[in-house]
Amino acid sequence: MIVSCRKNNPFTFKEITYKDSIDFKNWWPSSYKKTASSIPKPGDTTQAFTVSKYRQFVYDSSSPGYVTTYEYIDGFISYTFKLLKQNKPSPPLPEIRAYQEPVPINHKKITDIKKVMKYINGETLEFYYHVTSWKQSYANGDPDD
């Protein structure tokens, strides 16, 4: 993740780990709508908030809970959606971590990584050696187990 970027000191990076994953799944339903329709404009029909339909999302902190979308980057047609359930300030971001430890990787994926490691070199190889040491999962009902 890029933390900052300046002309004299081009980039500051932060390596993301499982500890950086915040539990949004259990946080957002109490304050935000699961589905939303656009705010009607004169002579226009409302649109459903479908993330895959839009390519640009604009959030303005002066209007918390509202998002303006565009089907194309810098497009002419925009739709505004109210995502916050009630007229109140946006709730504070959650602080609860999504994962208390690294998520196990399916043992079949680890096996596949080990097969291709002979074609990898340098820092990337070191990363994959590290990945193959992670906890593995064995799915129940998997016909190959």
Question: Do the beta carbons of residue 97 and residue 72 sit within 8 Å?
Answer: no
CA atoms of 29 and 91, how far apart (whole Å): 11
Question: How is residue 94 written in tokens?
Answer: 């959650």
pTM for this entry? 0.59
Per residue in 69-84, pLDDT (tens digit) is: 999 999 999 999 999 9
| ∠ CA 54-90-26, rounded to 5° | 80
Provide the residue ranges of all domains of the chain, joining segments of one domain with +: 22-100, 105-137
Per residue in 20-60, pLDDT (tens digit) is: 888 888 888 888 888 999 999 888 889 999 999 999 999 99
